[in-house]
A and B are shown apart, each in its own frame.
Chain A
Amino acid sequence: MIIDYVLNETDEFRECEDGAEALSVYAEFQPDFVLMDWEMKKVNGLTATKHIIAEFPNAKILMVTNFDEPDLRQAAKEAGAIGYLRKENILELKDILIRVKK
């Protein structure tokens, strides 16, 4: 399952209820990578990504969605996300993280 897969890729895992929490948790926890939903309460995923990247330019944020739209891919890229991951392809997470670490 997805949670197991994420847990297997990391020692510690934090879930955030909304975009504002994602910003504060990022600052405190500074994780190796972030899986970001597109829409969240308070601050949406794209805006949260922009804010995190502004403060932590090396942050590795992957936007996750079920929709493969060129406009969304472009928006994620412009916000500073390192990738755009379709939920069904989450098993590629390990490969993506290896590429990112290189």
Chain B
Amino acid sequence: MTKQQVALEKKDKHDNIFVTAEHFLEDFAKNTQEIAMKAFERFEKRGYKFGHELEDWFKAERELLKKVPIEIKDIDGNLNIRAEVPGFTAENLKVSVEPLRLIIKGETEEKSEKKEDHTIYSEWKSNKIFRTIDLPHRVEADKASASIKDGVLTLIIPKSAETKPNEVEIKPV
């Protein structure tokens, strides 16, 4: 057992956060649609002025999804991946690991009630993350383990013994 694995045992392990990638198909479509709508709203507000497509999409995406900074280390035959997910717990995080891809999804809803005159109303603030990461090595997805501590999700995934580079078919021009 490696030092990292020993360290992992000492933290709360949360292997129940793993799901299959199919689980995210609907989220992917929904997020894409929501971002497209937000981007279109920007286009509309600008008076349908062409030319800012990339900016609109990036800003819409940033509005909808929080950034998830990640770090990937190759240690003792494992990919050691740390993702900053402040405010998220094992209960509202889902992770899928495929041989060359990792998806992290999280969603929390913060409810705050404010009194204004005699009316009580609720504000719901969505707090979403959805990050897809191409892995630098082929991994043994079913052997991944996860832990969460201090807002950092740590995943340890063994690399496949037969490590193949990311193969991409090169199409003729």
Bound complex: CA A95 to CA B173 (Å): 10
Cβ contacts B65-103/A at 8 Å (1 or 0 each): 100000000000000000000000000000000000000
A-B contact count (CB 8 A): 60
Nearest Cβ on chain A to B116's Cβ, whole angstroms: 35
Task: Find out whether the CB atom of B53 lies under 8 angstroms from the CB atom of A64.
Answer: yes
Please choose the segment from A25-33, A38-46, A47-55 that sits at the chain B interface, where 4 or more of its residues have CB less than 8 A away. Answer: A38-46
- B residues 128-173 touching A (CB-CB < 8 Å): 130-134, 168, 170-171, 173
Bound complex: CA A35 to CA B53 (Å): 11
At the interface, is chain A mostly helix, strand, loop or mixed? mixed
Residues of A within 8 A of B62 (CB): 3
Task: Find out whether the CB atom of A37 lies under 8 angstroms from the CB atom of B54.
Answer: yes
Task: Find out whether the CB atom of B170 lies under 8 angstroms from the CB atom of A66.
Answer: no
Residues of A within 8 A of B133 (CB): 4, 8
Task: Find out whether the CB atom of A1 lies under 8 angstroms from the CB atom of B132.
Answer: yes
What are 21 A-B interface contacts by the 8 Å CB criterion? A1-B31, A1-B65, A1-B130, A2-B57, A2-B61, A5-B132, A8-B132, A8-B134, A36-B54, A37-B51, A37-B52, A38-B53, A39-B52, A40-B51, A40-B52, A40-B55, A45-B51, A64-B54, A66-B50, A98-B168, A99-B170
Residues of A within 8 A of B (CB): 1-5, 8, 15, 35-40, 44-45, 64-67, 87, 94-95, 98-99, 102
Residues of B within 8 A of A (CB): 31-32, 35, 49-55, 57-58, 61-62, 65, 130-134, 168, 170-171, 173
